[in-house]
Amino acid sequence: MFPSFIFIKEHVMLIKDQIKLWNGRRYYSLDCYLKNTFNKKLYKLSLDGGMTCPNRDGRISKGGCIFCSAGGSGEFTADRSLSINEQISQAKEKVSRKTNGEGYIAYFQAFTNTYAPCDYLERLFMPVIMRDDIDVLSIATRPDCLESDKLRLLSRLRKIKPIWVELGLQTSKPESARLINRGYELSCFESTVNDLKSIGAEVIVHTIAGLPYETHEDMINTVTYAAKSGADGIKLQLLHVLKGTVLAEMYRKKEFEVLSQEEYISLLCDMISVLPPQTVIHRLTGDGDKRLLIAPLWSGDKRNVLNSLNHQLKARNIIQGCALK
């Protein structure tokens, strides 16, 4: 009994120390990471680099992934008809009520932001990363759109300021990948993560919880796979059914059901428990465009979702990584 008591006492102290390190949270949030790394809060400026996607223009397929709206996840980006400098000014104005101008992340969000010739990407990214008000360059893209010349460009940019590359994995289940029309294999994802890590880029993996026909185990497997890939961060995104998508038509035909808030909160708790403590959680729930959102409507109340999650984490005594051996 005595050794067990000592182990439990040490475990409780470890949890308390970790929560203190994470500013009172039970997981390693992006906010905590930024403050620890840059000693200040950074705000994302969502930008549009004027690109499309090989899953839309016919190189791989047309129409994009089944959940992707016409904006290509860029509904919250600045107007693409503006120059990048104008977009940055517009985006800074949007976040001005939240910030005193502490610092910014230039986030190229819409569509696939390395799907262009390398000289175009250099003309796009270099002036942005050289700006005094930009602390991080973040690029959302696909693992099959990072050829060797683009990796060399990112390596040069990395020597100037931190580079984040956000990769849309969504799922580790091959059947689901085919269903959502992702268009690349897991081997491509794995080799790209290795390439990005070799040049010093930080890798952030996008996952989606609630894809049609996936089980609880499937979704946990995706998060475990993403963590084991060597990724530095992860976005845990709830599946949104948006108007004008293939997914919306499937939902109309009752081919699948979306997760309830209770199911999603329980799933998030389990996901957090299997994520290594050093993995930064960049997102726990998404902000679907309310003009396009069909389901689940409860996801529109982000504050309620996060409050419910924090309550459940405490009630179940879950801290990030607690289920790891």
Output the domain CATH number for residue 125. Answer: 3.20.20.70
Task: State the pLDDT at residue 285.
Answer: 85
Task: State the pLDDT at residue 271.
Answer: 98
The answer to whether the CB of 228 falls within 8 A of the CB of 274 is no
Residue ranges making up the domain that contains 102? 25-315
In a domain, 12, yes or no: no
In a domain, 126, yes or no: yes
In terms of phi and psi (left: phi > 0; alpha: psi -120 to 50; beta: otherwise), the region of 323 is: alpha
In a domain, 7, yes or no: no
Task: State the pLDDT at residue 101.
Answer: 64
In a domain, 18, yes or no: no
Task: State the pLDDT at residue 19.
Answer: 83
Task: State the pLDDT at residue 176.
Answer: 98
Amino acid found at 266: S
Task: State the pLDDT at residue 106.
Answer: 98
Across-strand partners of 138?
107, 164
Count structural domains, the chain.
1
In terms of phi and psi (left: phi > 0; alpha: psi -120 to 50; beta: otherwise), the region of 192 is: alpha
d(CA 190, CA 261): 32
In a domain, 52, yes or no: yes
Residue 52 CB-density burial (10 A; 0-12 exposed, 13-18 middle, 19+ buried): middle
Task: State the pLDDT at residue 251.
Answer: 97
d(CA 141, CA 121): 12
SS3 128: helix
The tokens of 15 are what? 């949890």
- Tell me the average confidence (pLDDT) per consecutive run of 10 residues in the chain, 325 residues long: 42 68 92 94 94 92 86 66 94 83 91 97 98 97 98 98 98 98 97 98 98 98 97 97 95 97 98 97 85 93 94 96 91
In a domain, 3, yes or no: no
In a domain, 320, yes or no: no
In a domain, 285, yes or no: yes
Task: State the pLDDT at residue 229.
Answer: 96
